[in-house]
Amino acid sequence: MNRIRHYFFLSWFALLIFSCTNKKEIYSVSMPSYMPPLPKNPSHNPMTTEGIELGKMLFFDTKLSKNGNISCATCHNPKLYFTDNLQTSHLGTTGKKLPRNTPTLINVVYSENGLFLDGGIKNLESLPAAPLQHPDEMAMDLKKLPNLLQNDKDYPNLFKNAFGTDSITNALIFRALAQFQRTIISPSINSEYSFVSKWDSVKQEKATFSNLELKGQSLFKSHCNTCHTAPLFSDYQFHFAHLDTITNPTKINDRVELGRQRITENPKDYLKFKTPTLRHISKTFPYLHNGSIEKLEYFAQPNDSMKLNIEEQKALLAFLKCL
């Protein structure tokens, strides 16, 4: 009986030690009170400090590309508010222009009804597969990627710290990248990439709008707020893009742009795109799905739905620059 008790004690003690040494530090993003709650993390991929650190390392690692000199951050550059400021990127392995403008990753966690401008990807765990494999982006063979990282001196241990196993798979690579991207939030309190705008500072009572900016805010609420709703300044829904696309449809590398119709195959979704966030809009130029608009001033000009005089145009533009 004493032997049995001794055995169970040793087993319990070993299990306790194993659990403590493999316990992950759950990461929680702290948000200002005026921001909406963050979407719930998927049960199979809880955010941990170790997972986020691994995801960040992968995000900036050029090993993930075929030619070894392109990372996720090449087109989603934190210094450029997680975009590239190009009309359409040509930074991939072939140097060919991509058909669409690179969207910012800021607040991508809130895009719950589909990622990409046409909603073609369901969630952040599925997102990396497309750019990693695309021949004009990172052109990586996903059959080779796990072995490539497995042979790295650091990655096996980092994966073990994050996921409890040093056996690297694409699924775990994607989960780590998803965890990191869920921390790219504007604004947050404890994220490394917490971009705080003047609009945020006003909400936090650390700044005040000028009279011109206040007038612009009123105009924005009248003309733009339906789709670009505060505080995210996007409804993350799909809307018809812009009248310019009717007469000048995008065609790059022999691909005709269909917008949301590419996914749904519904003609009613032709040239519908997800509403872009206007957060830090003055930093994430050029604009529209095809990058055809270079300057923010374009959107303050009078059009069929918005008749603004010169002073009103200045006011709206001043407010947009606060976002």
Rounded to an integer, the average pLDDT of 292-301 is: 91
Rounded to an integer, the average pLDDT of 27-36 is: 90
The pLDDT confidence band at residue 251, using thresholds 50, 70 and 90, is low
HSE-CB at 8 with a 13 A cutoff on CA atoms is 4
- Tell me the pLDDT tens digit for each residue of 74-113: 999 999 999 999 999 999 999 999 999 999 999 999 999 8
pLDDT value, residue 254: 60
Does the domain at 49-181 match CATH 3.40.309.10? Answer given as no
- Tell me the pLDDT tens digit for each residue of 50-67: 999 999 999 999 999 999
Tokens of 153: 């001196």
CATH number of 198-237+275-320: 1.10.760.10
Q: Is the pLDDT of residue 8 over 50?
A: no
pLDDT value, residue 203: 97
The pLDDT confidence band at residue 242, using thresholds 50, 70 and 90, is low
Rounded to an integer, the average pLDDT of 260-268 is: 91
Strand, helix or coil at 240? strand
Give 59 or 12, the one with higher predicted confidence.
59
Rounded to an integer, the average pLDDT of 207-234 is: 96
The pLDDT confidence band at residue 191, using thresholds 50, 70 and 90, is confident
Secondary structure (H, E, C), the chain: CHHHHHHHHHHHHHHHHHHHHCCCCECCCCCCCCCCCCCCCCCCCCCEHHHHHHHHHHHCCHHHCCCCCCCHHHHCEHHHCCECCCCCCCCCCCCCCCCCCCCCCCCHHHCCCCECCCCCECCCCCCCHHHHHCCCCCCCCCCCHHHHHHCCCCHHHHHHHHHCCCCCCHHHHHHHHHHHHCCCCCCCCCCCCCCCCHHHHHHCCCCCCCHHHHHHHHHHHHHCCCCCCCCCCCCCCEEECCCHHHHCCCEECCEECCECHHHHCCHHHECEEECCCCCCCCCCCCECCCCCECCHHHHHCCECCECCCHHHHHHHHHHHCCC
Tell me the residue type at 33. S
The pLDDT confidence band at residue 267, using thresholds 50, 70 and 90, is very high
List where CATH 1.10.760.10 sits in the chain. Answer: 49-181, 198-237+275-320
